[in-house]
């Protein structure tokens, strides 16, 4: 046992602010020199161990993997200084990530995280027009699926939809269709609504249809949302 090797593992750990288990772990991993043992087999550490342990803790707290810490403890001063610079940059990046995480957390109770900025704008427009929550959620779900399966086409389609909302006739048809969800299947207003829809669609250049038929079905089918009046409306529009 060397002259200065006097402190027990518990004292050493407390001095550096780490656990005893961590000290033993660092020794096993080769970061901390294997200490001398006293007559009871207890590890006895010296000042050099304390210094190395504080270095290890400082680097580990900075998120440096232990394998890298081991390299750094053996590095020359120039390499060490360069590494410190890199680690500091990484810490700054981590801090920025935390701020981004905070910003995203704040949006968790809105729809903003689940759809693109354009779709969010589009859904806001619908809400402004008095469209029902049910319909807006249905639209949101469709746009999520479209963006997942065909991101590029989805962007074009949502731009087209936003543009369509500029047309008063489209807005009127959209609102009426939303209302129609709860009508009776034999409501006398349905044939007229179907006619107006057909006329509006006929007057517009058709949207480029997607290659994948399952996507086409998505665009037209409004999955998950159906009602007797809507089924009737769909039938009237087909012919």
Partner DNA sequence: TTGCTCCTCACGTCACGTGAGGTGGC
Query: Which residues lie near DNA (CB under 7 A)?
Result: 8-11, 19-22, 24-26, 39-43, 60, 65-67
Token code pair at residue 216: 């086409």
Backbone angles phi, psi at 224, to 5 degrees: 90, -20
CA-to-CA distance for 94 and 157, rounded, in angstroms? 37
Closest C-alpha among 227, 223, 234 to residue 193:
234
Residue 3: contacted member of DNA, a second copy, none (CB under 5 to 8 Å, by partner type): a second copy
**Residues 182-221: x where in contact with a second copy by CB under 8 A, - otherwise, as a string:** --------------------------------x---x--x
User: Counting contacts by CB under 8 A, is residue 73 touching a second copy?
Assistant: no
Under 8 Å CB-to-CB from 197, ≥6 apart: which residues? 173, 177, 233, 237
User: Counting contacts by CB under 8 A, is residue 61 touching a second copy?
Assistant: yes
**20-28 helix and 9-16 helix, angle to the nearest 10 degrees:** 100
* Choice between 58 and 226, CB closer to DNA: 58
Q: Read out DSSP for 97-124?
A: HHHHHHHHHHTTTSSTTTS-HHHHHHHH
* Choice between 185 and 221, CB closer to a second copy: 221
Residue 50: contacted member of DNA, a second copy, none (CB under 5 to 8 Å, by partner type): a second copy
User: Counting contacts by CB under 8 A, is residue 86 touching a second copy?
Assistant: no
Q: Read out DSSP for 153-189?
A: HHHHHHHHHHHHTTSHHHHHHHHHHHHHTTS-TT-TH
User: Counting contacts by CB under 8 A, is residue 134 touching a second copy?
Assistant: no
* Binder of a second copy out of 1, 67, 82, 95 (CB under 8 A): 95
Backbone angles phi, psi at 33, to 5 degrees: -60, 140
* Choice between 42 and 189, CB closer to DNA: 42
* Choice between 117 and 203, CB closer to a second copy: 117
* Choice between 66 and 87, CB closer to DNA: 66
Q: Which of residues 140-159 bind a second copy (CB under 8 A)?
A: 140-142, 144-145, 147-149
């Amino acid at each position: 046992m060397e002259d200065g090797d006097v402190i027990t593992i518990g004292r050493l750990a407390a001095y550096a602010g780490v656990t005893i288990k961590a000290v033993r772990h660092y020794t096993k991993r080769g970061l901390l020199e294997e200490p001398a043992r006293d007559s009871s087999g207890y590890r006895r550490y010296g000042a050099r161990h304390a210094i190395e342990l504080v270095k290890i803790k400082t680097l580990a707290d900075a998120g440096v993997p232990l394998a890298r810490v081991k390299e750094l403890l053996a590095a020359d001063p120039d390499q060490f200084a360069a590494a410190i610079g890199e680690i500091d940059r990484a810490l700054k990046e981590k801090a920025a990530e935390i701020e981004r995480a905070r910003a995203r957390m704040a949006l968790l109770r809105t729809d903003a995280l689940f759809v693109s900025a354009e779709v969010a704008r589009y859904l806001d427009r619908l809400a402004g027009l008095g469209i029902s929550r049910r319909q807006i959620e249905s639209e949101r779900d469709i746009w999520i699926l479209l963006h997942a399966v065909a991101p590029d086409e989805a962007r074009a389609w949502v731009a087209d939809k936003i543009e369509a909302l500029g047309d008063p006739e489209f807005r009127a048809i959209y609102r009426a269709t939303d209302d129609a969800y709860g009508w009776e299947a034999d409501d006398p207003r349905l044939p007229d609504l179907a006619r107006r829809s057909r006329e509006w669609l006929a007057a517009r250049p058709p949207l480029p249809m997607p290659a994948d038929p399952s996507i086409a079905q998505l665009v037209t089918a409004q999955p998950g949302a159906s009602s007797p009046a809507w089924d009737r409306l769909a039938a009237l529009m087909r012919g």
